[in-house]
Structure 1
Amino acid sequence: MSDATPDTYRAVSLTRLDRGSFRVTNAAGGTIDVGVTESDFTPVELLLAALAGCAAINVEELTSRRAEPTSFDVVSEGHKGRDDTGSRMTDLRLLFDAVFPEGEAGDAARAILPRVLAQTHDRICTVSRTVGLGSDVAYELAPEAP
C-alpha cells in the first residue's frame, strides 16, 4: 500500500454469513449484504452503486448550494462481459436526472450542472477516476495465526 496514512486510509471488512452470502462493514458500523441470494447486492451492483453514489454526492453538494433539487436520481449502468482477458464491465454510464425548482436559484443550479458533471468525472469522484485510470489490486493471504 503506497502513501497510507490515517488521513488517507480507507477499509471495509467482509464476513461470510452463509454460502454465497457476505456482510460488508465499514469503520462506522454501517453494513450492506453482498452475495448471490435474491436479497443481496451482487459485487457488480455494488460497483455500480459506488460509481453512482460517489458522483451523486459530489454533484448534489455543488448544485444544492444554489437550489435544493425537487428530485435527484442517478442510474448507473453498464454491460458485464467476458473477453480474452477475463470478466469485466464495459460501457459504464451514469445518467443524472436532477430537477430544480423554477426561479433564479433553480436556474443557477441547472446552469452549473454540466460543468459540475464534467468536474466530477475529470477530477472529483474518487471511484470513477480509480476505475477509469485503472489501479492494480493486490490479492494477499493473511498471515497464519500462531
Structure 2
Amino acid sequence: MKSLQEKVLELYEDHQKTQIPLSEVEIRLALEANGLPATPQLIEFEQRYRGMKLYADIVAIEFGLIWDGGAPFDPTVAAVEYEAFDPEDGRDHQYLITCAHSEFYIQFGLDEHGRYYENGQLKFNTFWELLEWYVRGGR
C-alpha cells in the first residue's frame, strides 16, 4: 500500500500541466509588476503548481498565480489577481492572491506566506497540505 507521501508525489508528478513553466526571474518580475512581493513561497508555488488541475466532482480547478502575459511571455503585462489589506487591520498577511481559476463556486487564494484559503478562510498552512487532503479523498 502506498504511503500518503507517495500518493501526493504521484498526484504531483502525474498532473496535467496546462501552462508553460516560468523561470524564477519571470515570476519575480510578474509579481513585482503587479505590486506584489516576490516571496519565496509565491515563487515556489508558481514553479511547482502552475497549471496543475484538480477536480471537484467534474469541475476542473486550475492552479496558478500568473495568467496571460502573452507569447513570448512578458512579465510586465502578466495578470495577477489579488486583494490587498491595510497592514494596520490586524491581519498576519497583507495580500490574498487568487491561486486558481475554475467554474466552481469557491474563491481560491494564497497569501504571501504560502498559506491556502477558500473564500477568504484559511484552510491549509501549505499547498502541499491541500494535496494530502485531496488524495485522502477530501472534497
TM class by shorter chain equals: under 0.3
Please identify the structure whose Cα radius of gyration is greater. Answer: 1
Relative CO higher for 1 or 2, CA cutoff 8 Å, sep ≥ 6?
2
State TM-score, norm by structure 1.
0.25
Bigger fraction of residues in strand: 1
